[in-house]
Chains A and B, each alone.
Chain A
Amino acid sequence: MEDSNPVISVRGLQKSYGDVEAVRGIDLEVRRGEVFAFLGPNGAGKTTTVEILEGYRKRSAGEVSVLGEDPERADRAWRERIGVVLQSCRLDPYLTVRESLDLYAGYYRAPRPADDVLELVGLEAKADARAGSLSGGQQRRLDVGMALIGDPELLFLDEPTTGFDPSARRQTWETIAGLRDLGKTVFLTTHYMDEAQRLADRVTIISAGTMVAGGTPEDLGDRENRPATVSFRLPEGVATGELPVDGAASRNGGRTVSLDTSTPVATLNELTGWALRRGFDLEGLEVTRPSLEDVYLSLTSEGTE
């Protein structure tokens, strides 16, 4: 019954700072048990939005409901049900990993056992190390652990891997992926497409304070129906005008040419038939679909222009 109610529901959210409109009309619905990614470039309004949902900031307009309550009027009982990982927070360097968890455990009525949380965030071996001696990735995982210690239903993660090296990112991703298995609802902001793709059930892309796309990572931005790119090296002594297809252009003035086509099968058929008849080989022949990164970049640059 409760599952039919969204965990987060946002309608027409707006936030201005003086004359600057940071968020200009956002609608969201996050369902119980899903990992929801809020994706956008720096300055798109991600942190402003997530801090409104967390109860840190007041909105200028719109309706917001998080776990059935308005975060602006949220009380202690509501805070028991959410976990927050801020975009940047330096934990107390003089407390050990276990002490940091125990300190936060004391703030909640029914905390998870610290040993459980240590395992979830993969810091069992570091339990007695001071937080100040941890690497950036380990500190962030401890931060996630401190957000999990109260056993919240909903977890906010604001850019959890920004600035990490690949192995630290991978470990943090594993921790976040494990949260879904616990049945937690996760609201994740990120400016990394691959992070959203890897972790999220659903993604909303925002740019300059407005939503530009939304959906599952697979069908985001209607990727399947975007044109494919065919590229190959032009045979010796052949000019682009002689090709049986239109629109081929050289990249960087070299012999490799590429063209965009929404019918790649027909285009390839014409090209390869022509090459066989003329006795050419098409060296370096390649057909590529736009990557999610390409879709993301084209969507977010449309939004800012």
Chain B
Amino acid sequence: MSGLALVAHQFRYDQKAFWRNPASVFFTVAFPVILLLIFATVFGDETVDVGGGIETTTYYVPAIITLSVISATMQSLAMSLVIAREDGRLKRGRGTPMPAWVFIAGRIGNSIVVALLMLALIAALGRLAYGVPIPWEQLPAIVVTLMVGAAAFCCLGIALTAAIPSQDAAAPIVNALLLPLYFLSGVFIPDDQLPSGVIHFADAFPVRHFFEAFFSAYVPAGGGAGFEWGNLAAVAAWGLAGLLLATRYFRWTPRSG
């Protein structure tokens, strides 16, 4: 098989394994849906003082898509790669003629496809359940922003595996990093209720930049094309840093034993 055919082959089996794994389906697919339902139910009648005042649900749809993309990429990759590494599957794969990059490319492809599916799922749910309009005219900005974010958070997820010593440590480490950032970046709590100091702090991390970029693309208050080049550049820079760390520190052999 050629390189690309091999990636497609690997991707096909990664997809099967992903959808059959109850933990990955719950945390990556079901959990964001549940979060949207909860936020919409609890805060549904309020408005958010962003862009001249918008419905809370209009705020939470892009927020939950942001979370879904990070979850499908950084979180899901870091967890599944650590599990495969500690189970010895990464090492075993290295004993075959398959080039290493094919394996990684298959996993990244899997993450990006799931991220796109979550975009469609949350956008459709927002539209049907809460009447949050889908900004079709912004589709190029939405897709480009999502792809930049997905690629960057994939790189960060792969880099993060180097800091995770065991399967048991994977979920705590990933959540300890991401959950506070979701709160501080306005994903869980709307921007207008966060002190400006918190926002400044969150600006140092990629979650906030990706959320701002995606929010502009999804809620076209300003009427532009929705590209937030500054935020996208910050996200891409984080991704590049992740890529460099990953190429330097990623390991194929189990840490334990």
Interface size counted on chain B using CB atoms at 8 A: 23
Q: Is the CB of A107 within 8 A of B17?
A: no
A 85-127 binary contact with B (CB < 8 Å = 1; else 0): 0101111101100010011101111000000000000000000
Docked CA distance A167–B20 (Å): 31
Docked CA distance A130–B1 (Å): 26
Distance of A278 from chain B, by nearest CB (Å): 62
Instruction: Check: B91 CB closer than 8 A to any chain A CB.
Output: yes
Q: Is the CB of B89 within 8 A of A91?
A: yes
Instruction: Check: B96 CB closer than 8 A to any chain A CB.
Output: yes
Instruction: Check: B6 CB closer than 8 A to any chain A CB.
Output: yes
Q: Is the CB of A94 within 8 A of B20?
A: yes
Q: Which of B21, B91, B95, B99 has the most CB of A within 10 A?
A: B95
Q: What is the interface residue range for chain A against chain B?
A: 20 to 34
Instruction: Check: B255 CB closer than 8 A to any chain A CB.
Output: no
Q: Is the CB of A89 within 8 A of B91?
A: yes
Give the chain B neighbours of A103 by CB distance below 8 A.
9-10, 13
Docked CA distance A23–B193 (Å): 64
Q: From known contacts A92-B17, A94-B17, A94-B21, infer whether A107 and B97 are also in contact, taking CB-CB under 8 Å.
A: yes
Q: Is the CB of B89 within 8 A of A90?
A: yes
Give the chain A neighbours of B98 by CB distance below 8 A.
107
Partner of B97, one of A86, A88, A108: A108
* Nearest neighbor of B102 in chain A, beta-carbon distance: A107
Q: Is the CB of A95 within 8 A of B13?
A: yes
Name the interface residues of B85-128: CB closer than 8 Å to any CB of A. 87-89, 91-92, 94-99
Q: From known contacts A95-B16, A103-B13, A107-B6, infer whether A90 and B88 are also in contact, taking CB-CB under 8 Å.
A: yes
Give the chain B neighbours of A91 by CB distance below 8 A.
87, 89
Q: From known contacts A90-B87, A90-B89, infer whether A99 and B95 are also in contact, taking CB-CB under 8 Å.
A: no
Q: Which of A55, A86, A92 has the most CB of B within 10 A?
A: A92
Given contacts A76-B97, A91-B89, A106-B9, 7 further A-B contacts (CB under 8 A): A54-B95, A55-B95, A84-B96, A86-B95, A92-B84, A94-B17, A130-B20
Residues of A within 8 A of B (CB): 54-56, 76-77, 79-80, 82, 84, 86, 88-92, 94-95, 99, 102-104, 106-109, 130, 146, 150
16 pairs from A and B in contact (CB 8 Å cutoff): A76-B97, A86-B88, A86-B91, A90-B87, A90-B89, A91-B87, A92-B89, A95-B16, A95-B17, A99-B13, A99-B16, A104-B96, A106-B10, A107-B6, A109-B97, A130-B20
Smallest CB-CB A-B distances: 9 pairs:
A84-B95, A89-B88, A90-B87, A94-B20, A107-B98, A79-B97, A106-B9, A94-B17, A107-B96
